[in-house]
Amino acid sequence: MKKPSSSSGLVYSTETGRMCPDCRQPVASCTCSSAKPAPVTDGVVRVSRETKGRAGKGVTLVKGLALEPVALAALAKQLRNACGAGGTVKDGIIEVQGDHCERVAQALKLQGYTVKRSGG
């Protein structure tokens, strides 16, 4: 027979709704996900093209931006508008649909970033 532990691992409460598994607070008042610091980079933004896992469709990837999630989403929107394409932000990497490496690099240089092409 198991011994009851002090932290019950409660995931849902009828009183407050969903609970954060890390800090055990209600999701509405959880602060552990917003307290993550921005990633540390070397100051160089890398722009590359990738087709792996996308059924041959190419996307332009922008890596190495040390921005908060809100600022990163705003920059992604600017880049998508500059290219006239769709895209998303996943795990701190901006993805722009299509091969737009030159346009993205030029737009980032105009904003003052140090940009390098990476990959083939």
Specify the pTM.
0.67
| Residues 40-88 pLDDT 10s | 678 899 999 998 888 889 999 999 998 888 899 999 999 999 999 999 9
* 27 vs 4: which has the higher pLDDT: 27
Q: Which residues contact 17 (CB under 8 A, 6 or more apart)?
A: 26, 27, 28
Six-digit token string for 115: 């940009």
Q: What's the pLDDT score for residue 80? A: 95
Residue 50 pLDDT: 92
Q: Which two tokens stand for residue 105?
A: 């690099």
pLDDT tens digits along 7-47: 556 566 677 777 777 777 777 777 776 555 556 678 899 99
Tokens 């896992």 locate to 53
For residues 13 and 24, the answer to whether their CB atoms sit within 8 Å is no
- C-alpha span between 48 and 73 (Å, rounded): 18
